[in-house]
Amino acid sequence: MENIEIIPEKRRIDIAKLKKTGAVVLPSIFTIANMAFGFFSILSASEGEYVRASWFLIVSYVMDMLDGRVARLVHGESSFGVEIDSLSDWISFGIAPAYLIYKFVLKDYGFWGYPVAFLYVLCGALRLARYNVKSHFGGSDKDYFQGLPIPAAAGILVSFVLAYSMIEGESGSRGIQIVMDRMPFVYGVVPFIMIALALLMVSSAPYAAFKGDMLKPNSIKGIVLITAVLSMIVAYPQDALFVFFSVYALSGVLAGFYGAFKKLFRGKEAGC
């Protein structure tokens, strides 16, 4: 006769708790890695190593994408995960890029560089706090974000530093000529870009989340889009990232205006 091991109820409960703990810890490893690379970026920027600081933040971006996907894969979503993820994002995509841009550009503006950098950090914190509240109380939308996500805002700043570094000969990568020609102009309006990004983060502009049914990786549209984006990044990493992040930031503004005009038009029709 086969020996059947009978597991006591208490042991079954302990095993279930252990599995649940492992499911929570696994994605947190990627979250902590996100935080670590953000901190390394701050240290690098303080030493004047702006390109290295930027690449650290790109790695933080990858870690941030992985932690959410791993959490959903192992069913490890938790309130703790939401909080530690936001704290990591604030360091890596709020404080670190603001400090990087201050050291790279804003320090030349004297005292006025301080409030511009702080406004970005403050609005990033407000953006994350609002997202957390919606996550806890079930008010989030799986298809759209309210306001520009802080990783996307940081992506514009980081990719700008990488793209501009090619002009100064700090990077051996090739660039898209039409983008490279406009980098000096972008350098001159960085304070206004920082302010615009800060305001977009706390705005109500709708930004595609690329989750749920909006973009399926196994669909024809998804495959074509992903292939095109990856090809551009491989060929022109710095410039392509700057273009993609900038287009994404503008998409929410255009969508917001479109929604406002649509409501206004409907209101006029109802009043007729």
- Would you say residue 15 has pLDDT above 50? no
**4 inside domain:** no
Q: How far apart are CA 46 and CA 48, in angstroms?
A: 6
Element (H, E) at 145: strand 144-146
- pLDDT tens, residue by residue, 29-47: 888 999 999 999 999 999 9
Q: What is the Cα gyration radius of the chain?
A: 22
Share of the chain above pLDDT 70, in %: 77
Whole-angstrom distance, CA of residue 70 vs CA of residue 152: 20
- Cα angle value 197/199/205 (rounded, 5°): 95
Q: Is residue 2 part of a domain?
A: no
The domain total for the chain is 1
Residue 3 lies in a domain: no
Cα 229 to Cα 52: distance, rounded to the nearest angstrom: 23
Residue 236 lies inside a defined structural domain of this protein:
yes
In-domain check, residue 154: yes
Which residue range is the domain that position 17 belongs to?
9-271
Confirm whether 67 is domain-assigned: yes
pTM over 0.85: no
